[in-house]
Amino acid sequence: MSFNPAEIKKQFPILQRQIDGNPLVYLDNAATTQKPQAVLDALSHYYTHCNSNVHRGAHTLADEATRLYEAAREKVARFINAYDKKEVIWTAGTTEAINIVANGAKQLLKSGDEVIVTEMEHHANLVTWQQVCKISGASLKVAPITDDGELDVAAFQKLLNGNTRLVAMPHISNALGTINPLHELIPMAKSVNALVLVDGAQGIAHGDVDVQALGCDFYAFSGHKIFAPTGIGVLWGKAEILSDWPVWQTGGEMISVVTYDSATWGELPNRLEAGTPNIAGAVGLGAAIDWFSGLDLEAVKAHEQLLMQKAVELSTGVDGLIIKGNAPHKIGVFSFIIEGTHPADIGFLLDKQGIAIRTGDHCAQPLMKRLGVPGTARASFSIYNTVEDVEALFKALQKVKMMLM
């Protein structure tokens, strides 16, 4: 598929609507991406042609649903270059995926052990490990960032020691757009034999996710960040680790043998997938990966950088606008404040002009405190955004300034 943002936008029905009489300019992609017609069609096909539970049915609908469901698992495995498709565990999203790892870790960690996170964590990858450490007696260590929003690699390395049992860090910061140098950080963590979990919620649609090349032990992501439905996500983990990892939930599908006195667990991936899964969500994620993989991914990256460069260029024309997060390696996340205004007011007035952004702390309150602000306004770009969208944002911001100042 050739890469033409304006043509790609036409494949997203929701982007054709208007808000208060204005064309919708959707710039909240770090929160969730919109869905192309191909994904909507896949969901409709599943529900109208083969809606059924998977694996256990002895009829045509169950067989067709199972084939679609497991084909989606294979697509994910190829997309992230997993060693084996059984390492792909379906979850409700990144948060549940992290909690599956944390549930096992709290049973394995002990007093004296250490877990390392970073100052740029989303709450899902901070509060979860904070609570695990409180339960297990382990200590939580936080690797600092620079004023530009980059991870302080030297400080991170100093935190690593023989007591480090697990490192949990984002592939890309949701609030700043910073791309962490995983190919440098993960070997450092592995040198002290620590397990490494990567929060890939923002990385999955922006980075080249190759779990074998990265060398991490776990990689978690949500489908809705990569044009798939909400409520579906993935925990990838090395089979040799997940095969013995404490189970997350018990119930149907994940068992092997059950008596009134005991139960044994099934093999991967079933042992970590209790109950009826989000079959339609998995099918939708498979369709999203097919659709996304058909694009020129190098052109996608180049276009996103073009949008970011345009935003930075136009920001100089807005008095009092300060960008938060100036790492040299970042995705199209443009977080900012305007002196003398509140981010919530900016967001409200932009919405009245048809422009959708995110405001607040972005589920990263400690990071906002580190930056010295209560929150930011965040415009985040995706493949269907155009230069005209960026120009519309800054034209609208000038009106916002006039109304607020």
Any idea what the CATH number is for the domain that residue 358 is in?
A: 3.90.1150.10
Do 68 and 142 share a domain, yes or no?
Answer: yes
Q: What is the mean pLDDT of the chain?
A: 97
Which of 258, 293, 328 finishes a domain?
293
| Residue 35 domain-assigned (yes or no) | no
Which of 269, 293, 317 finishes a domain?
293
What mean pLDDT is predicted for residues 197-210?
Answer: 94
Cα–Cα distances (Å) from 320 to 88, 238, 337, 365, 376, in that order, read: 46, 48, 8, 23, 13
Instruction: Tell me whether strands 333-338 and 218-222 are parallel, antiparallel or unpaired.
Output: unpaired
Domain count, the chain: 2
What mean pLDDT is predicted for residues 72-87?
Answer: 98
| Residue 1 pLDDT greater than 60, yes or no | no
Specify the pLDDT at position 3. 81
CA distance 138 to 379: 37
Tens digit of pLDDT for each residue in 253-295? 999 999 999 999 999 999 999 999 999 999 999 999 999 999 9
What mean pLDDT is predicted for residues 67-87?
Answer: 98
| Residue 203 domain-assigned (yes or no) | yes
Tens digit of pLDDT for each residue in 101-153? 999 999 999 999 999 999 999 999 999 999 999 999 999 999 999 999 999 99
Do 284 and 304 share a domain, yes or no?
Answer: no
Catalytic residue among 50, 133, 216, 363: 363
Three-state DSSP at 373 gives coil
Do 150 and 255 share a domain, yes or no?
Answer: yes
Q: Are 382 and 227 in contact (CB under 8 A)?
A: no
Cα 345 to its chain centre, rounded Å, is: 27
| Residue 228 domain-assigned (yes or no) | yes
Helix spans in 181-228 (H): 182-190, 211-214
| Residue 376 domain-assigned (yes or no) | yes
Cα–Cα distances (Å) from 338 to 176, 198, 323, 345, 401, in that order, read: 16, 32, 9, 11, 8
| Residue 2 pLDDT greater than 70, yes or no | no
| Residue 405 pLDDT greater than 90, yes or no | no
Catalytic residue flag (residue 363) = yes
CA distance 347 to 367: 20
Tens digit of pLDDT for each residue in 99-115? 999 999 999 999 999 99
Which of 293, 328, 350 finishes a domain?
293
